[in-house]
Amino acid sequence: MDKIIETLLKDPYFIYAGAFAAIIISISIFKKLLKLIFYVVIIILIFAIYVIKSEKDPSDIFEGTAKIIEQAAEKKEDFEKKAKNIMNDVDKHIPSKIKKSLKNKLSDKKLKKVEKNLLKKKSQLK
């Protein structure tokens, strides 16, 4: 028990976590975010128990997490580029006859809505 208390009071990561929890608790009092507080406290407790039981340094855990986040960001960028290329390829490969027939079948209002949706999707991929 003494080891747990000593770890909680001396480790700067636990001090930061405690300060973060105090800020969230004070916000929840004013904003009635009791549910959020509950989940944050549970997550912090689970993390504290994990660190204490595994006897790992919390900074090692955060470094590993940072690497995973960087890899995910790189993969996201690659995915966005591929999706953009696919959208451009699809647009290029649609025959002009089909485009014209779609324009004839759709009213101007519907066509504008479809074009807006496609432009939004393209802008989201950029």
Is 105's pLDDT higher than 70? no
Is 4's pLDDT higher than 80? no
Q: Identity (one letter) of the amino acid at 80?
A: E
What is the distance between the alpha carbons of residues 112 and 114, in angstroms, rounded to a whole number?
A: 5
pLDDT tens digits, one per residue of 27-63? 777 776 677 778 888 988 888 888 888 877 777 777 7
Q: Which sequence spans correspond to the domains of the chain? A: 1-56
Is 22's pLDDT higher than 70? yes
pLDDT category at 103 given cuts 50, 70, 90 is low
> Kindly report the CA angle at 51 between 45 and 52, in degrees rounded to 5?
90
Is 91's pLDDT higher than 80? no
